[in-house]
Structure 1
Amino acid sequence: MTMPEPEVQPSGAQELARDLVVIPDRRLPLVPNIGVIGGTESVLVIDTGLGLTNAEKVLAFATEFARGRRLYLTTTHFHPEHAFGAQVFAGAATFLVNRAQAEDLAAKGPGYLEMFKGLDEVVARRLEGVQPAAPDLVYDTRYDLDLGGRVVELRATGRAHSKGDQVITVPGDGVMFTGDLVEAGQFSIFPWFPPHDTDVSGTRWLAVMERLMAEKPRIVVPGHGEVGGPERLADVRDYLRLLRDETWVRRDSGVGEETIAAEVRAVMLARYPQWDGQEWIEKGVGCLCTEHAA
C-alpha cells in the first residue's frame, strides 16, 4: 500500500499559550508536531516537516505569524521529517541547533536522505531537491534564546533517540517540545540499524526521561501524537523501563535474541494493545541486548 501524503497543514494550528502554537501531526506517518513560539522581537519555529513543499508552508505560516518579527529555526534532531526542509529557511531565518545535531546532519544526513527516498515513492517525491542544511548558529549543550519578553531554553540531552537530541522548553508557560524522545500512543522509535547506525541508546534514553520528568512541564508536545501533560513523559519512561527489564531478564537466562524479541513483543502488545509502531519493539530489544552488560 502507498502511504498517505506526509503533508503538514498549518491551517490546523492550535494555540497552547499566548503567542505559542503547535501545528499538529494529525496522526500521519512522517509528519511531526511543529511549534511556533513568539516574543515581542522574534519568533522561533521548531521543526520543518518532510521536504521542501512542507517547509515552504511552515515558513509562510511563520512569516505571517511573525508580522515583521525576526525568525529563528531549530530542529529537535536531524531525522528527515524534522529537519529536511531547513534549506527553505535560508536567508529568512537563523537556523540554530546543538553541536551533536549539527554533526549528525553533516555526517548522517546524506545517508538518511537516500534511505528515506527508498521507503516509498510518496516519500521520494517529497524529498526531491532536498539537501541537508548547515546551521547558522551552533551551541554546545545549552542555549537561552531571548525572543523579547520570552526566553526559550534549548538543551542538548545527550545520546538517546539519537546523538543530537534537543529539547526546547518555554519555562514561563510550562511547555516542553521533546521531538522523538516522546511519542504519544506509539512505541518508542529505535533507529537501530547495525552496522550503519547504532547511536540510539535505550539506557541513556531512560535516564533522559527521568531528567525531563523532574522538570515537571505543564504541557508536553511529543514528536508525534497528541499533545498532553506530564503523563506523556511518564508513559515513555514506563515503557522503556519495562522494555529494558523484560529484555535483560531473558538475556540473563541465556535466551537467544530472536526468542527474546518474540517474547518481549508479546508482553508489550499485551500491555499496550492500542499503540502504533509495533515494528519498533524488536529494534528496541536489539539495542538493549547490546547494552545488557553496560
Structure 2
Amino acid sequence: MTIEPLSHDPVVDTGHAQELARDLVVIPNGGVGLVPNIGVIGGTRAVLVVETGLGPRNAEKVLGFAAEYAKGRELFLTTTHFHPEHAFGARTFADEATYLVNSAQAKNLTDKGQSYLEMFRGLGAPIARQLEGVELASPDVVYDEEYELDLGGRVVRMRATGRGHSLGDQVVTVPDADVLFTGDLAEAGQFAIFPWFPPYDVDVSGLRWIAVMRRLIATGPKVVVPGHGEVSGPRLLADVRDYLELLRDETWIRRDSAMPPDTIVAEVEALMIERYPQWAGQDWIAKGVGCLCAEHAEDDSPATSGVGRGGSVSG
C-alpha cells in the first residue's frame, strides 16, 4: 500500500504472468503503485490465488485469469493482509472460490476495512475509480496460526506471522517449489511500508516485524515473492531485516538523547536515503521513525510463532 496520490490507475496486467515453477505463476506488479504481486498456484485438483488487486475490476481480471488457468479445477483465494490492494477485490470471488484467511486478518477486515476504504477513496480519482462498488468480503474459512491446503499433489501452507506490518500478516509457502509469498512484510527496491497513523491505526510494530523477518530468514526459501517489486531470492529477507534493524538503532540513539522529534526524522531520513539511494517510498521512513519512537525494548517480545496448525482442507 502507499499513501501518495497516484496520477495513474492502479490496474493489474495479467498479460505478463511469470512462471516460477511447475504450475505456479506470478502476475507481477510491474512497478505500478498500489498493484501487488499476485500468485496463482496449482495442484491436480485445485488452484489457489494469492491477492485480489485493488477493487472489483482488478479482481475480475485476476479471477478471469485464474479460472482460465485452472481449467475446471476448484478455486481458492487467500490474501496476505487486509489492505485494499491486497484484499478489497475478494467479494468478486465469492461465488467462484473459497476464501481463507487467519483470524487476526479477519478481525482487521471487520474492524478497519471500512475506514481504510474511505481513506483510500480520498487518495485521488484513479484510486477511487478502482474502488467503486467495493463490498468487503467475509472469509469462508478462518484459521488461527497455520493452515495446510491440499491442492492435489501439492500442499500450500498459510501461516499467520503475528504482528508486524499489520496484526493479520500472513505468509504463503509452497514447499515443493521452495517459494515464499510475503505480502508487505517484504518489498523489493523500496523502504518498508509503515502504516503508522496514530491515533487511528498503530498496529504496525517495527520490533515485532524484525522478529518476523528473522524467523522467515531461518526457513531458507529459494524464491521470495514480495508484496511489491521484483521476485527475488532469500537475500531480500535479509535486506529488509537489516534495514529495519538500522532504522531502529538510529532512531533509538536519537530518541534516547532527547533530540526533538523533527530533528530525529530529518537525520534518520537523510541517513537512510544515503544508505539506500535507489529505493522508492522515501515517505515511509518518517512513519517508521514515528512507530519506533513509540516502541521500547521491552516490547520486543516474541511475536506469534505461527508454527501451530489451525486446520487443513483438500481441494
TM range (shorter): over 0.9
1:133 aligns with 2:137: yes
For the pair 1:291 / 2:275, whether they are aligned, the reply is no
Alignment pair present for 1:92 and 2:107: no
- Would the aligned equivalents of 1:251 and 1:292 in 2 still touch at CA under 8 Å? no
Q: Secondary structure at the match of 1:229?
A: coil
Aligned to 1:242: 246
Match in the other structure for 1:146: 150
Residue by residue over 1:168-218, the C-alpha shift from the partner in whole angstroms, topping out at 9 and shown as x without a partner, is: 000111100000000000000000000000000000000000000000000
Aligned to 2:58: 54
Provide the C-alpha distance between the structure 2 equivalents of 1:119 and 1:131, rounded to a whole number of angstroms. 19
Among 202, 205, 210, which residue is 1:201 paired with?
205
What is the 5 A alignment of 1:248-263?
Answer: 248-263=252-267
**2:38 matched residue in structure 1:** 34
| SS state at 1:187 partner | coil
Deviations 1:209-249 (A, max 9, x none): 00000000000000000001001101100000000000011
Query: In the alignment, what sits opposite 1:43?
Result: 47
The partner residue of 1:274 within 264, 275, 278 is 278
CA distance in 2, matches of 1:85, 1:271: 36
- Alpha-carbon distance, 1:275 to partner: 0.4
The answer to whether structure 1 residue 5 and structure 2 residue 9 are counterparts is yes
Give deviations 1:62-100, integer Å, cap 9, x for gaps.
000000100000000000000000000011000000000
Q: Give, in whole Å, the separation in 2 of the partners of 1:2 and 1:253.
A: 38
Give the partner amino acid of 1:121.
A
1:223 and 2:233 aligned: no
| Aligned match of 2:311 | none
CA distance in 2, matches of 1:8, 1:218: 26
Give 2:301's aligned residue. Answer: none
AA in 2 matched with 1:264: V
Instruction: Verify the 8 A CA contact 2:6 2:123 in the aligned structure 1.
Output: no
For the residue of structure 1 that corresponds to 2:8, the secondary structure is coil
Of residues 18, 21, 39 in structure 2, which corresponds to 1:17? 21
Runs of 4+ in 1 over 4 A off after TM superposition: none
Structure 2: distance between partners of 1:14 and 1:241: 32
Q: In 1, distance between residues paired with 2:275 and 2:186?
A: 18
Structure 2, gaps ≥5 residues long = 299-315
Distance 1:87 1:50 in 2: 11
Per-residue CA distance 1:136-184 (angstroms, 9 max, x = gap): 0000000000000000000000000000000000011110000000000
Q: Which amino acid aligns with 2:123?
A: L
Q: Give, in angstroms, the shift of residue 292 of structure 1.
A: 2.9
Q: Percent identity among equivalent residues?
A: 68
RMSD of equivalent CA atoms: 0.8
Query: Following the alignment from structure 2 to structure 1, what is the Cα–Cα distance between the partners of residues 54 and 78?
Result: 14
Provide TM-score, normalisation by structure 2: 0.92
Pair 1:265 & 2:264 matched:
no
Secondary structure of 2:117's aligned partner: helix
State the TM-score, normalized to the length of structure 1: 0.99
Once residues 108 and 257 of structure 1 are traced to their aligned partners in structure 2, the CA distance between those partners, rounded to angstroms, is: 28
**2:180 aligned with 1:176:** yes
C-alpha distance in 2, partners of 1:44/1:293? 39
8 Å CA contact retained: 1:44, 1:71:
yes
Higher relative contact order (CA 8 A, sep 6+): 2
Aligned residue for 1:77, secondary structure, equals coil
Determine helix, strand or coil for the equivalent of 2:158: strand
Provide the residue aligned with 1:106 in structure 2: 110
> Which of 159, 166, 182 lines up with 1:155 in the alignment?
159
Mapped contact 2:161–2:212 kept (Cα < 8 A): yes
Consecutive unaligned residues of structure 1, counting only runs of 5 or more, are none
Aligned-residue offset at 1:2:
5.1
Give the whole-Å Cα distance in 2 for the aligned partners of 1:234 and 1:131.
37
